[in-house]
Structure 1
Amino acid sequence: MNRRTTALAAVAVLSAAGLALAGCAQPNAKPTSSEAPQLPLVGWTPVPASSLQQGGTLNLAALSSGTDEGNWNINTTQGANVPVVDITAPLMGAPLKATKDGAVEVDPNYAESVELTSKSPETIDVKLNQKAVWEDGSPLTAKDYQATYAALSGKNTKFNIASSAGFDQVSSFEVVSDYEFKIVFNEPYADWQALIGTAAVPAEIASDPAKWASFTTKPLPSSGPFIMSKIDNNAKIYTETPNPKWWGDTPKLDAINWTVTGQDSQAQAFANNELNAVEAQDVDTYTAALKKSGAKALSSGGVTYSQVTFNGLQAPLDDVNVRKAISQSIDRELIAKTANEPLGVKATTDGNWIFMPGQKGYVDTVDKLLPYNLDAAKKLLTDSGWANADGKWTKDGKELKLSVIVPQGTKSNELRAQQIQSSLKKIDIPVTLDEVPSADYFTNIMAGKYEMATFGWQGTLFPISSSESLFYPAGKPGGNGQNFAYVTDEKLGDLWKQANSELDPAKRLKIADQINDVIAGFVPFLPIYPYPNVFVVDGNLANYGPATFMSTDWTQVGFTK
């Protein structure tokens, strides 16, 4: 499973890919020897609107809903989850959007212009599209953004927020008019565009902590091309239809149906024409889905990565040497090969806590400071007072044994957990799989009710600022933030402050490298490999599928004539 926020900000994913998890192959799957192709930035070939039929229902699957996770507000700790973000994506938008190649541009549906008008102090001027309205027809104004930014600043601790990154640096928010606002930063903030890429929440909701956190059974009001028209929390089916108040291009689809479906059931649902597309996060889903007549596989690069998180509050994982020993015992290269190569994708490991392989600034810090080395792992355990006798590690009369929490019906998580289990068996650490209902998976993790968890984190266009909440501050179970290891190093606070205010790219990358070294020193989680985006879709489905950066334009998704 995966966790994530928006295209411009960070999220967790359930399944094989990051916190938009991609799946692992079977532990005994044979990696292919042929060189896999490089992946494109967008997996589908664009089809013009004139070639699409008007109408039709798109049926998609999600691993969970906002009701399952505990909130539909994607700005909250519970809602900052890939499935929730996916379902609500057709219901919202923002002044900035991501392009095919990872750049950022103004979305004319929401803004006329976004300009950096001053560097000292750093000032951003946003002129909004005056046609933009909420689903009830009331205007989407500067006051909605003002209230949203204030809620996300973290200054009022009563607001449940996943991250305050960047919003906590805004020194003033000026409402110039109903349709124009200016924000001024305390000091230079390099990733200011991430803030402008955040969708607004109605001011009435964003100014009240209770209302902000109250969307436990239904989504926030829509400001996008679709509205949530039917909610069945019992059957877990969510229907979106075109927004009658929408001011942009007319959507091609009559409806989008999202059905909460376990990963192990999606290929069969696709074969039965209950779904028009599936995300192939494991080799079984991939091969089974492709058997459907007319089905086609689409793939792109991704920004999601798999990892294993250690609960730093639970003994024996409260000992940093135990966390390091586990990290040096996990065969990341083998896991990457067995997960990705059967999907026709070149496999590589991920050894950085901020950047993905191929991104500027990427350094394999894990290989440098925590390389796969079973002898080094054993020495770390011995140094911490553990003794190995008869194939068991013991200390003070207690045996060293661990568990990995696994969501039911999500094969990719289970298979990766099995591979971690197999790796740790080589140094005599037994690992059991703690299977829980999918809907309880992240709930348990956020409550600290686990020892190890392997899910995906989905990265963003702004990896330095958006990743901060994963590591700093430490946080606590049941609290805000996304640090589910609940441990940190206080040096990170100052380092991230330096990185976020440094406008020189080269200097900023050096600070990011220091941050990675500090994280390796207390290892809250271990990155394993980046996920490819692989979808299998019906042959007549157009303008929908995998993309590295670009968000889906839901007005252009449809079926060919």
Structure 2
Amino acid sequence: MFHDGARRRSVALLTTGVLALPAVAACGASEEGNVPAAAQDLAPTPRDLVANGSTLTWAIDAVPGTLNAYQADADTGTTRVTGAVLPALFTLDDKGRPQANPDYLESAEVVEREPRQVVVYRLNQKAVWSDGREIGAPDFAAQWRALRGKDPAYWTARNAGYDRIAKVERGKDDLEVQVTFDKPYAEWRSLFTPLYPKDVMGTPDSFNDSARTTLKNTAGPFSLKKVDRKSGDITLVRNPRWWGDQPKLDQLVFRKVAPKNRTKALTAGRVDLAQVAPGEAERISLARRDKGAKGPLAHGPGAGRTPADALMSWAVAHGTEQEAAESEQLAREQTREAVVAYAAEQKSLGAYEVRKALEPSFTQLALNGADGPLADERVRRAVARALDRKELAETVLKPLGLPAQPVGSHLALAGQDAYEDASDALGSQDTAEARALLAEAGWKPGQGAARPKNAGASGEPAEGAEGEEAVGDSGNEDRPGDDGGEYIVGEDDGKSGARGGPMLPGAVAAGQGAALWRQADVVARQDGDGKTEQGAHAQQGGPPGAYAPKGTAAPKESESPGAEGAAGPLAKDGLALTLRFVVPSGAGSEQLRAVADKIAEQLEKIGVTTAMKKVPSSGYFTDHVASGQYDMALYSWPGTAYPATDGRPIHAKPVPAADGSLNVAQNYTRVGTDRIDQLFDQAVGELDDGARKKLIKEADARIWAVAGAIPLYQRPELVAARPSVANAGAFGFATPRYQDIGFLKKGAKPGKQDRKPGS
């Protein structure tokens, strides 16, 4: 995974008061911090067992709008292409650690620390661009000038690290590059990956335009042959000037296949490798399990019908009531057709297997501290202390057979050197303590407290809710699939219900002004499991717990599971404690909706009412999360090998912009402190690894304590692959080694796998 072209960038937001941090000292080193929660799953195979030749087709979400990884609209497709055709000085291993890439570097090291930091890169003497020119100092210098942030003519998405460089020079010879820093920069390995030739970085015009649609001059194992925006194919071919291990594939094709079309593409055999949602992964697993089985499938359309249902259907279809009989006969015919189509799809899906790991990204609950009840740190801490994060992780990961441990850090993931569970700075789940914090903040049981219909957290009408009525009111229909609507959890009004249908696969930081957002965007589209719930829930258009028939009475406290000691709705100054939970609409988000519903249930136990507000998927992030139009939201962040650099814009205290507004960068919770900023600033300039880790851990503990962002679980990475595909699949943190990817030779078997049979 390339860093520069796929890293989060922006500014930060709000904080309140002085931070008391009694638990920081309790955060000791974790003995298991360096153990990944789940191993990567790639079918690792020695190169001599991988066949030479052939073409592999790999699904991507869209044809990238730019092939310049340093522009704001770069995305995961950009990262895939540049990873195969451009130099990566440092790649990541399976624990997310930067490793010098011998294809480009003989060495790279800090040779001076005082009076200024100096890094010397010794380049592989065989490394050349596809035009025959050797890779050298002119390319490094051009990239530094383009990305250092001093020339606004360059439309760059980031300059972190490059803005600390004083000069880039030729060293002892043409193969040596010397980089001198004005300010110490500990995470210097993040720089110059990917590296572009000077003809791309040399002028604003070439930077802004020439690399958007093509890359004429490359230096990777593959070269870019064609970008066909009409068909959606990006074709790479072997680079004839490549000096390293020769690619096993003749061609590598990245094919545009939207997530909603993955099943169709797999059944048609149009791709060899594709990331899939949990529902698709389950279908592939069932297809492999059912190979060779005789008789009808025990799943799919009509599988849930009982003998009594079948008998009743037959009776109606052959009854004397003509209209009912015709309707039932049509339904039976449609079911038969659906069963045949489903069985055919399952047979095709049996040609794939699922490779699974945990993605280097995590889903968090964001609490907007800009205004309303959550501007009070005590209320945020109460909400966080009410959460059973283990249960939320199990909701997503346990059905997939993946480790379901909550994420304990905002800045690293399990397996990384910097990982340590610092959640003790906030405290574990404790309903009594959560209630006490709310009481201290002035929120008391308040029967009949006013809450304007469709109101947000501060009592103002929720955006886009005009004309909608509270759940259960007469005159409103449940409308599965509607792109909007609201349902209330925790209101003591004797009614329960919902409006709307299944939601987007997930919510992710993506698409606005920062190169790394593209990872988050991909991350977003993978949160849902993509499958339709069966039975009554499917008829109502949502996952269990999301909907009830209009007018259904809410269960009494004594009848509710786990309701012992449940708090009644809380109020303050005549207003109910109601938090607006913004969730995206659209198909494929049942998994995310299930997590949101569980959070709402957990908050109800401490007297917090949750107003679940569906918003259009297309504007979920930009119109609501980034703009601050929410109280609670779920979205995901990609992990990073460079926490001091990447963590700061996400957690830094907001600063006033020139126009008087707040510049929040990527701190969409609007929560931060001066001390957190200081710790990041110290860490990014601390060249001693041990001292830097301590600073990062302290920063993380303080982020937990202010309770703006609550990490929940590491996201699943599920990849459908032909069993013959070698050295590709669920990569986890590791950077793909494109020249090793291919197909097994006839009779060859891949290395040891962590998958269970049939998965």
User: Which residue does 1:170 correspond to in 2?
Assistant: 165
In 2, distance between residues paired with 1:83 and 1:242?
19
| Counterparts in 2 of 1:219 and 1:323: CA distance versus 1, 3 Å | farther
Counterpart residue number, 1:15: none
Q: Is the 8 A contact 2:227 2:234 kept in 1?
A: yes
The alignment partner of 1:97 has SS state of: strand
Output the CA distance in 2 between the equivalents of 1:75 and 1:118: 29
Are the aligned partners of 2:425 and 2:702 in contact in 1 as well (CA < 8 Å)? no
Aligned partners of 2:2 and 2:79 also within 8 Å: yes
Aligned CA distance change for structure 1 residues 147 and 346 (closer, same or farther; 3 Å): same
Could you tell me which residue of structure 2 aligns to residue 97 of structure 1? 91
Alpha-carbon distance, 1:394 to partner: 5.8
What is the match of residue 536 of structure 1?
720
Deviation at 1:495, TM superposition (A): 1.4
3-state SS of paired residue (2:410):
coil
Structure 1 pair 490/101, CA: closer, same or farther in 2 (3 Å)?
closer
Alpha carbons 2:215, 2:224 under 8 Å: kept: no
Instruction: Describe how 1:224-373 pairs up with structure 2 within 5 A.
Output: 224-233=220-229, 236-282=232-278, 284-290=279-285, 291=287, 292-300=349-357, 302-313=359-370, 318-360=375-417, 362-373=419-430
Q: What pairs with 1:439-518 in structure 2 (closer than 5 Å)?
A: 443-444=622-623, 447-448=626-627, 450-451=629-630, 452-472=632-652, 474=654, 481-518=665-702
Supply the RMSD in Å over aligned alpha carbons.
3.9
Residue 100 of structure 2 aligns with which residue?
106
> Residue 47 of structure 1 aligns with which residue?
45
Report the more deviating stretch, 469-478 or 365-374: 469-478
Is 1:191–2:187 an aligned residue pair?
A: yes
1:31-87: CA deviations, max 9, x gaps?
xxxxxx9866442343233433333332222345533xxx543334443x5454235
Q: 5+ unaligned residues in a row in structure 1: which ranges?
A: 13-36
> Aligned equivalents of 1:161 and 1:372: distance in 2?
43
Structure 1 CA distance for aligned equivalents of residues 662 and 154 of structure 2: 13
Q: 1:6 pairs with 3, 27, 51, which one?
A: 3
Moved more, 42-51 or 390-399: 390-399
The answer as to whether partners of 2:41 and 2:730 remain within 8 angstroms in 1 is yes
Equivalent-residue separation in structure 1 for 2:436 and 2:388 (angstroms):
18
The residue type equivalent to 1:287 in the other structure is E
CA contact (8 A) 2:37 2:414 kept: no
1:128 positional shift: 2.7
2:122 corresponds to which of 108, 111, 127: 127
Q: Quick one: which of 434, 440, 460 aligns to 2:614? A: 434
- For the Cα contact (< 8 Å) 1:301–1:532, is it kept in 2? yes
- CA distance in 2 between counterparts of 1:358 and 1:230 reads 38
User: Is the 1:161–1:480 contact (alpha carbons within 8 Å) kept by the matching residues of 2?
Assistant: no
Q: Can you list the C-alpha shifts for 1:350-396, whole angstroms capped at 9, x where unaligned? A: 12112323545544333431533344445555555556445356667
User: Per-residue deviation at 1:119?
Assistant: 3.6
Contact 1:407 1:414 (C-alpha < 8 Å) held by counterparts: no
Structure 1 residues 542 and 442: alpha-carbon distance in aligned structure 2, compared to 1, 3 A threshold: farther
Matched, 1:554 2:741: no
Query: Which amino acid letter does the alignment assign opposite residue 66 of structure 1?
Result: P
Question: Counterpart of 2:220 in 1: which secondary structure?
Answer: coil
Q: Per-residue deviation at 1:496?
A: 1.7
Cα offset, 1:157, TM superposition: 5.9
Amino acid at match of 1:192: W
User: Separation in 1 of the partners of 2:601 and 2:208?
Assistant: 41
Q: What per-residue deviation string (whole Å, max 9, x for no partner) do you get for residues 484-521 of structure 1?
A: 33543222332122223334444333322321233234
Do 1:230 and 1:240's aligned partners in 2 also have CA atoms closer than 8 Å?
Answer: yes
Task: Note closer, same or farther for the CA distance 1:549–1:287 as it changes in structure 2 (3 Å cut).
Answer: same
Structure 2 match to 1:58: 56
- Match for 1:429: what amino acid? T
Give 1:27's aligned residue.
none
Is the contact made by 2:86 and 2:196 (CA closer than 8 Å) also made in structure 1? no
Write the letter of the residue equivalent to 2:421: D
Give 3-state SS (helix, strand or coil) of 1:324's partner: helix
What's the offset of the Cα at 1:125? Answer: 1.0
Aligned position for 1:116: 110
Aligned to 1:34: none
Query: What is the distance in 2 between the residues matched to 1:532 and 1:482?
Result: 23
- 1:66 partner SS: coil
The superposition leaves residues 390-419 of structure 1 with CA deviations (integer Å, 9 ceiling, x where unpaired) of 535666776633133437455354444444
* Larger strand proportion of the pair: 1
Determine if contact 1:349/1:529 at 8 Å carries over to the other structure. Answer: yes
Whether the 8 Å CA contact 1:61–1:258 is kept in 2: the answer is yes
- TM-superposed CA distance for 1:554, in Å, is 1.0
Q: Could you say what secondary structure the match of 2:680 adopts?
A: helix
Structure 2's unaligned 5+ residue stretches are 10-34, 288-348, 449-490, 492-568, 746-759
> Quick one: distance in 2 between partners of 1:203 and 1:398?
61
| CA distance in structure 1 between the partners assigned to 2:597 and 2:81 by the alignment | 30
Check whether the contact 2:117–2:181 (CA below 8 A) recurs between aligned residues: yes
In structure 1, what is the equivalent of residue 333 of structure 2? none
- Looking at structure 2, the residues matched to 64 and 414 of structure 1 have their Cα atoms a distance apart, in angstroms, of 25
Task: Calculate percent identity across the aligned residue pairs.
Answer: 26
| Shift, 1:478, TM fit | 11
Letter in 1 for 2:396: A
- 2:140 maps to 145
1:128-156 deviations in Å (ceiling 9; x for gaps): 34554455665543222223234443445
One-letter code aligned to 2:105: A
With over 3 angstroms needed to count, the CA separation of the structure-2 counterparts of 1:163 and 1:555, relative to structure 1, is same
One of 63, 80, 86 as aligned partner of 1:86: 80
1:511 aligned counterpart, secondary structure: helix
Q: Which amino acid aligns with 1:167?
A: Y
Distance in 1 (CA, whole Å) between partners of 2:259 and 2:178 is 44
Query: Bigger shift: 201-210 or 42-51?
Result: 201-210
Q: What residue is the counterpart of 1:23 in the other structure?
A: none
- Alpha-carbon offset, residue 527 of structure 1: 0.8
